[in-house]
Chain A
Amino acid sequence: MRSAEVLDCHVLVIGSGGAGVRAAIEASGYGETILVSKTLAGKGGCTTMAEGGYNAVLREEDSCGIHFEDTMKGGAYLNDPELVSILVAEAPQRINDLLAWGAVFDVTDSCDVAQRPFGGQTFPRTCYAGDRTGHEMMMTLIERLASTNVEIENEVTALDLVREGERVVGALCLDGKGEVMVIRADATVLATGGGTQIYDISTNSSSGTGDGFAIGYRAGAELIDMEMVQFHPTGAVYPYDARGRLITEAVRGEGGILRNAAGERFMSRYDPERMELSTRDVVSRAIATEILEGRGTPHGGVFLDVTHLPRQQVEEKLPVMLEQFLKFGVDIREEPMEVAPTAHHVMGGLRITPDAGTTVPGLFACGEVTGGVHGANRLGGNALADTQVFGKRAGESAGRSPRRDSCIDPKAIEAQEERLAAFLDGQVPPSTVIRSLKTAMWEGAGIFRTEAGLNKTLGVISHLSSLRLLARTRENLAECCTAQNMLLSASLVVRGAILRKESRGAHMRKDVVQTWDARNSPYGHTYQSLDRSGIETAVRS
């Protein structure tokens, strides 16, 4: 066995999106911090792709109580109320951090941060920078990060956490050449984002492969509500390879209208009160139903129309949308977009405490890899806020962790090397496995679910997991690990979906007849770990 490179730090942060970078910035105040990024830090993750906005209570007329209630209602009351309270209370402070660090949000004439309406809100509280809000945040965070002494390991893939007894004491990673890197840490923050790349149609960046769910699970952490996958109502439908690309909710926030092929503004049949600005679960099911029942467009979507808006509004508020569609030959000022639902966000994830601690000592988590904040359906604009609020908390908690004499067990490295060596001797290219997985998940664990379909999907996953993945060179090892993470994440989603025998938020079980609404559900979180799995049935207050 080669002797692997060993790095040592106080805090190890895995993931370089909004949550990871925020955590690293915070942790750096407490001791040497290493940030491991699968991509070039700042370019990966989904934060930089986030378009619409950041929810924060900034006006007298608004209140944290209303933001809390909107979030709980939108989340079908599956959210952890304590986490939601923290989210709404601290979102304004965290946007202030960004402003102090140079973020350029859109402003009103009176020099306040501008806000616009998003789905499921009783007050327009979504702050934005055009339709490139996440990019603006990421640019700001990366600039801030550069002023700290955080050591950034770019294009390094985290493989697994390493434990000493119960406690996480670091991680094993792969560098760009496929060589194992060992990082020992007093505390580790998992901020790897979500994983809707397990679906055929997804908004996620290439790094949205559920690595954190899998890594956390394998390290013994408990995950909750993994069945709660948000399908964003509006993804692109063509050209084929661009299907699923996010069409921001800001399009509807700015006044965009949904119509079916017959020209009918169909949302009036699904949610006459909130119409296009209903919550994402409702709008997605509405669009999917229109398409399934034959009222879709030739490309298999519905129309999303902004042609009635002033051209200047489209140009100023939706510049990225305009630019992207122009690239694909559609001028959204002149003609409607065609859209259909696309897998967007995993509401479930590692169970965390208010201090971002997981169920495993020494391991913290923040951002999309965690569960509980968004319940059964996330409100648009709450994810960017989540990254900052819990990113800071995770970085702080990890930073405050005591320094320890710990060491990485050579057996763990050996086992990892064996795992990797097997890939070099494998048979099936990971891309083949991933393609099959994506199709199976879209068909069997998508917007509408049944127990039979879920079981069938689980069978496919289990078959795919039994195949021996092939890496042609060491540089291809990371792809094999990613494929395994995707398979594990997918199985967590499907198992969660089987456990939850009710329709709630984004989780729609067509085979279950239920007599309760979300607020009166007898069920709490689903939970899955190496030791146990089930669904909480504690009576809710």
Chain B
Amino acid sequence: MKKIHVRVSRYDPEGDARPHYQNYVVEVNEGARVLHVLQAIHDEIDPTLSFRYCCGAGQCGSCAVRINGVPGLACMEEARDDMTVEPLDLPVKKDLVVDLLPYLNTLPRIQPGGEAFVPDREKVELIKPLRSCIECLCCVSVCPAMDVTRFDGPAAMRQEQRLALDPRDRKDRVTEAVSRGLFACTSCQACWKVCPKDIEIPGKAIEKLRALANRKGLTLPRHQEVARFIRESGRSIVRTGPTFLEDAPEVIEPDGPVRATVGFFVGCMYNGRLPATARDAMEVLKRNGIRVIIPREQVCCGSPLIRTGQIDFIDTLKKRNIDAFVFRNIDTVLTMCAGCGSTLKNDYRTPFRVMDINEVLTKFGIEAPARLPIRVTYHDPCHLLRGQGIRDEPRELITQVADLVEMPSVCCGSGGGVRSGMPDVASALGENRRKEIEKTGAEIVVSSCPFCEFHLSEHTDRPVRNVTSLLLEGYREKDRKKAEQQVQG
């Protein structure tokens, strides 16, 4: 047996104005799940605690709650000491019980023609991963887009795609999905990462539905423009000034001994819109012994096309990019754009390894920068945190330069083609970030994605910096101090 301290959100609409926390200490068995802690409270301490559960085996989706802020099934997540258990971010009926029905009742339901037949094996294999949904609504409770616009959410989109794939269904699910907000998803992947069944809703449902919408001519006009531009120029960004690639040397030799050699995939945003940030990154790499090769013929990774369902030109882009690095015998490609990195890692099959710049710098270790007397907050780029699983690395770098104040990791609204296609939605999400940034009291916002950096800068009055730009500031400060000492000495 072991002792568990737990803080549980309690709320009785009949007596409480708002939810409050109640602390409990219970004895449970080794390996007990969160559910068993709740049962222990109910059985031993307070039978008025309400929570919902049924199968106890992760198959019915009744018992989803937030455990330390993260949605999950109470019956499957192991109980930890000092945990907080709260209801999902949905209308609360009592304590941990939320009202699932208003959402469940909106899910699209099959309209079969009446014939009994099975889809062919290929179809079945495509449908199956979407079919394992247990409708626990963890995904719905974390979807940021649903908070700011009429978007029916990940569970509904999952079901739309399941129906779109099924030859027995008689309705036009693609048009329906579009009318239910298909283009509002920022592909932040929060839904997928909390799904107890690991259903890849953004990639397996939303992007697939967008591709079907594309065939029906339903792609948003602004997205079509971007696609046209990529087709013509190989880039998703209109040239407004000198680009990074135009000015960059073919190879950047480091200051000291070579500790590693990487090929740099710059990406459209750092190339065309934020070249100064890319140059900051090069300075940091140079200072830390990383030799960088920069193939000029690289093009857009294709992410803006994949996210918006315009996939017919993708293979051409992939081939051009892969060839550019393979031609130079590069075994490690470095990305600093979270979107490009996620695309190269997840949508490409590359003969080389792809590493984000945060990974490279923490792997090889960096020269200590000077500490800056500032407090910063860090915005997790969705395509870095969830797309590549990179959470600790940027924090490890940032905390060497400045004090870090955390804020919740929520999408800023710049991804998934939403900024171009549905600017109001992107803006509303950006404004939500503004509030979170203000709460931290930080003087500077740090991130590691050009889309986030560019978008956030429009939604906060604080400066927004890339991780490497912040490091470079630390190095410059260090150099300045050193020079000062020399002058004084």
- In the bound assembly, the distance between CA atoms of A476 and B47 in angstroms comes to 7
Q: Do A108 and B121 have beta carbons less than 8 Å apart?
A: yes
Q: Do A241 and B33 have beta carbons less than 8 Å apart?
A: yes
Q: Do B116 and A100 have beta carbons less than 8 Å apart?
A: yes
Q: Do B100 and A324 have beta carbons less than 8 Å apart?
A: no
Instruction: Name which residue of chain A comes closest to B117, CB basis.
Output: A99
Q: Is residue B56 contacting chain A, with contact meaning CB distance below 8 A?
A: yes
A429 surroundings in chain B (CB, below 8 A): 43, 47
Decide yes or no: A43 and B61 within 8 Å by CB, A206-B54, A241-B36, A327-B76 being known contacts.
yes
Which of A135-143, A260-268, A486-494 lies at the interface with chain B?
A135-143
B60, B124, B197 — most chain A CB neighbours (10 Å): B60
Which of B126-134, B145-153, B384-392 lies at the interface with chain A?
B126-134
Instruction: Name which residue of chain A comes closest to B14, CB basis.
Output: A177
Q: Is residue A328 contacting chain B, with contact meaning CB distance below 8 A?
A: yes
B131 surroundings in chain A (CB, below 8 A): 104, 129, 136, 139
B168 surroundings in chain A (CB, below 8 A): 100, 102
Decide yes or no: A135 and B59 within 8 Å by CB, A100-B112, A239-B29 being known contacts.
yes
Decide yes or no: A111 and B54 within 8 Å by CB, A40-B62, A97-B116 being known contacts.
no
Q: Do B31 and A100 have beta carbons less than 8 Å apart?
A: no
Decide yes or no: A241 and B31 within 8 Å by CB, A44-B54, A319-B132 being known contacts.
yes
**Min C-beta distance of A271 to chain B, whole Å:** 28
Q: Is residue A397 contacting chain B, with contact meaning CB distance below 8 A?
A: no
- In the bound assembly, the distance between CA atoms of A512 and B62 in angstroms comes to 45
Q: Is residue A358 contacting chain B, with contact meaning CB distance below 8 A?
A: no
Q: Do A99 and B118 have beta carbons less than 8 Å apart?
A: yes
Q: Do A111 and B62 have beta carbons less than 8 Å apart?
A: no
Which chain B residues numbered 46 to 63 have a C-beta less than 8 Å away from chain A?
Answer: 47-48, 50, 52-62
Q: Is residue A39 contacting chain B, with contact meaning CB distance below 8 A?
A: yes
Q: Is residue B365 contacting chain A, with contact meaning CB distance below 8 A?
A: no
Q: Do A147 and B109 have beta carbons less than 8 Å apart?
A: yes
1/0 contact trace for A459-488 toward B, CB 8 Å?
000000000000011011001000000000
Q: Do A105 and B118 have beta carbons less than 8 Å apart?
A: yes
- In the bound assembly, the distance between CA atoms of A101 and B110 in angstroms comes to 8
Q: Looking at chain A, what size class is its interface with the partner chain? A: 35 or more
B480 surroundings in chain A (CB, below 8 A): none
B47 surroundings in chain A (CB, below 8 A): 429, 431, 472-473, 476, 479
**Min C-beta distance of A210 to chain B, whole Å:** 16
Q: Is residue B232 contacting chain A, with contact meaning CB distance below 8 A?
A: no
Q: Do B28 and A205 have beta carbons less than 8 Å apart?
A: no
Q: Do B119 and A205 have beta carbons less than 8 Å apart?
A: no
**Min C-beta distance of B114 to chain A, whole Å:** 6
Which chain B residues numbered 65 to 111 have a C-beta less than 8 Å away from chain A?
Answer: 76, 93, 100-101, 104-105, 109-111
Count A-B pairs with CB separation below 8 Å.
143
- In the bound assembly, the distance between CA atoms of A111 and B117 in angstroms comes to 9
Would you call the interface of chain B mostly helix, strand, loop, or mixed? loop
Q: Do A206 and B29 have beta carbons less than 8 Å apart?
A: no
Q: Do B56 and A205 have beta carbons less than 8 Å apart?
A: yes
**Min C-beta distance of B287 to chain A, whole Å:** 43
Q: Do B32 and A241 have beta carbons less than 8 Å apart?
A: yes
Q: Do B100 and A100 have beta carbons less than 8 Å apart?
A: no
Q: Do B76 and A431 have beta carbons less than 8 Å apart?
A: no
Q: Do A102 and B166 have beta carbons less than 8 Å apart?
A: yes
- In the bound assembly, the distance between CA atoms of A205 and B118 in angstroms comes to 30
- In the bound assembly, the distance between CA atoms of A3 and B143 in angstroms comes to 43
Instruction: Name which residue of chain A comes closest to B76, CB basis.
Output: A327
Q: Do A245 and B57 have beta carbons less than 8 Å apart?
A: yes
Q: Do B124 and A132 have beta carbons less than 8 Å apart?
A: no
Q: Do B101 and A154 have beta carbons less than 8 Å apart?
A: yes
B135 surroundings in chain A (CB, below 8 A): 42-43
**Min C-beta distance of B122 to chain A, whole Å:** 10
Which chain B residues numbered 222 to 247 have a C-beta less than 8 Å away from chain A?
Answer: none
Q: Do A101 and B112 have beta carbons less than 8 Å apart?
A: yes
Q: Do A205 and B48 have beta carbons less than 8 Å apart?
A: no
**Min C-beta distance of B417 to chain A, whole Å:** 30
- In the bound assembly, the distance between CA atoms of A129 and B53 in angstroms comes to 24
Q: Do A44 and B60 have beta carbons less than 8 Å apart?
A: yes
Instruction: Name which residue of chain A comes closest to B134, CB basis.
Output: A135
Q: Do A431 and B116 have beta carbons less than 8 Å apart?
A: no
Instruction: Name which residue of chain B comes closest to A434, CB basis.
Output: B43
Q: Is residue A146 contacting chain B, with contact meaning CB distance below 8 A?
A: yes
Instruction: Name which residue of chain A comes closest to B130, CB basis.
Output: A104
Q: Find B31's partner among A240, A472, A473 (CB 8 Å cutoff).
A: A240
B117 surroundings in chain A (CB, below 8 A): 99
- In the bound assembly, the distance between CA atoms of A146 and B110 in angstroms comes to 10
Decide yes or no: A48 and B100 within 8 Å by CB, A107-B119, A113-B118, A205-B60 being known contacts.
no
Q: Do A207 and B54 have beta carbons less than 8 Å apart?
A: yes
Q: Is residue B115 contacting chain A, with contact meaning CB distance below 8 A?
A: yes
- In the bound assembly, the distance between CA atoms of A96 and B117 in angstroms comes to 8
- In the bound assembly, the distance between CA atoms of A207 and B55 in angstroms comes to 8
- In the bound assembly, the distance between CA atoms of A97 and B112 in angstroms comes to 11
B61 surroundings in chain A (CB, below 8 A): 43
Q: Is residue A442 contacting chain B, with contact meaning CB distance below 8 A?
A: no
Q: Do B116 and A130 have beta carbons less than 8 Å apart?
A: no
Q: Do A239 and B30 have beta carbons less than 8 Å apart?
A: yes
B43 surroundings in chain A (CB, below 8 A): 429, 431-432
Decide yes or no: A48 and B60 within 8 Å by CB, A40-B101, A102-B110 being known contacts.
yes
Q: Find A102's partner among B56, B57, B101, B112 (CB 8 Å cutoff).
A: B112
Q: Do B29 and A241 have beta carbons less than 8 Å apart?
A: yes
Q: Do A239 and B57 have beta carbons less than 8 Å apart?
A: no
Decide yes or no: A111 and B56 within 8 Å by CB, A40-B62, A139-B131, A143-B109 being known contacts.
no
Q: Is residue A246 contacting chain B, with contact meaning CB distance below 8 A?
A: yes
Decide yes or no: A324 and B57 within 8 Å by CB, A40-B62, A130-B128 being known contacts.
yes
1/0 contact trace for A17-54 toward B, CB 8 Å?
00000000000000000000001101110001100000
A143 surroundings in chain B (CB, below 8 A): 109-110
Q: Find A107's partner among B33, B56, B118 (CB 8 Å cutoff).
A: B118
Which chain B residues numbered 161 to 217 have a C-beta less than 8 Å away from chain A?
Answer: 166, 168-169, 197-198
Q: Do A132 and B62 have beta carbons less than 8 Å apart?
A: no
- In the bound assembly, the distance between CA atoms of A328 and B77 in angstroms comes to 9
Q: Find A49's partner among B53, B55, B114 (CB 8 Å cutoff).
A: B55
Q: Do B114 and A100 have beta carbons less than 8 Å apart?
A: yes
B31, B48, B118 — most chain A CB neighbours (10 Å): B118
Q: Is residue B120 contacting chain A, with contact meaning CB distance below 8 A?
A: yes
Q: Is residue A238 contacting chain B, with contact meaning CB distance below 8 A?
A: yes
A108 surroundings in chain B (CB, below 8 A): 121
Q: Is residue A106 contacting chain B, with contact meaning CB distance below 8 A?
A: yes
Decide yes or no: A102 and B60 within 8 Å by CB, A48-B55, A239-B32, A472-B47 being known contacts.
no
1/0 contact trace for B20-33 toward A, CB 8 Å?
00000000111111
A327 surroundings in chain B (CB, below 8 A): 58, 76
Q: Is residue A293 contacting chain B, with contact meaning CB distance below 8 A?
A: no
Q: Find B124's partner among A97, A104, A239, A431 (CB 8 Å cutoff).
A: A104
Having A205-B55, A429-B43, one finds 9 other A-B pairs with CB under 8 Å, namely A40-B101, A49-B59, A102-B169, A104-B127, A139-B133, A206-B55, A207-B54, A241-B29, A241-B36
Q: Could you name 28 residue pairs across A and B whose Cβ atoms are closer than 8 Å?
A: A43-B55, A48-B55, A99-B117, A100-B112, A100-B115, A104-B118, A105-B118, A106-B124, A108-B121, A111-B121, A135-B59, A135-B132, A135-B134, A139-B131, A143-B109, A146-B105, A146-B109, A240-B29, A241-B28, A241-B29, A242-B31, A245-B57, A320-B59, A323-B58, A327-B76, A429-B47, A475-B48, A476-B48
